[in-house]
Structure 1
Amino acid sequence: MAKRTFENALGKLEQITEELENGDLSLEVSLKKFDEGIGLVEYCNTTLTEAKAKVELLLEKQGGLTKQPFDELDHGDQELS
């Protein structure tokens, strides 16, 4: 079995989402796919949380850089409606 990566998990999650959106699956299969998707979401969330912690640690080690929450960054080209 291939090692699970964030990219593979995200790709599989997208595939499951498409399959569920098509509505061609039985209820039993849909529930199994949904359960698998939940596991993939948890894996992706954990992986992203770990990556964020590593980035913050690297920023602290560099000294002169300061952390800024992502949602407070100026995105420039995005407008709020």
Structure 2
Amino acid sequence: MARGWESKAVESQQDEASRERQPADRRTDAQRTRDAKRYALSLARTRTAADLEHATHPAHRESLAHALRALDAKLRDLDIES
């Protein structure tokens, strides 16, 4: 049975889409792990900074400030390793 023009158009769109795909991720497992850890630390730092901005109790503020310094140190260590 002959194919109609619709199926040919769909086929050409699929061919074009497959050619335009992004190249595969060339990072190593170690790089992916490090990037994931950096992302997680960055998210934790953002959350802690936001919590510190809204905290009112001095002991809670000090605890959050300490956590922020620890997260900054971990991010620095991660940057030094790479």
State TM-score, norm by structure 1.
0.52
1:8 is displaced (CA, Å) by 1.1
Q: Distance in 1 between matches of 2:61 and 2:72?
A: 16
Q: Which residue of 1 aligns with 2:38?
A: 6
1:25 is displaced (CA, Å) by 3.1
| Secondary structure of the structure 1 residue equivalent to 2:56 | coil
Q: Figure out how many residues of one structure are paired with residues of the other and give that number.
A: 47
Amino acid in the other structure paired with 2:68 = G
1:46 is displaced (CA, Å) by 0.7
Structure 2, gaps ≥5 residues long: 1-35
Q: Which residue of 2 aligns with 1:41?
A: 72
Is residue 13–residue 41 contact of structure 1 (8 Å, CA) maintained in 2? yes
Structure 1, gaps ≥5 residues long: 52-81
List structure 1 runs of 4+ shifted beyond 2 angstroms. none
Q: Distance in 1 between matches of 2:56 and 2:37?
A: 27
- 2:47 aligned with 1:15, yes or no? yes
State TM-score, norm by structure 2.
0.51
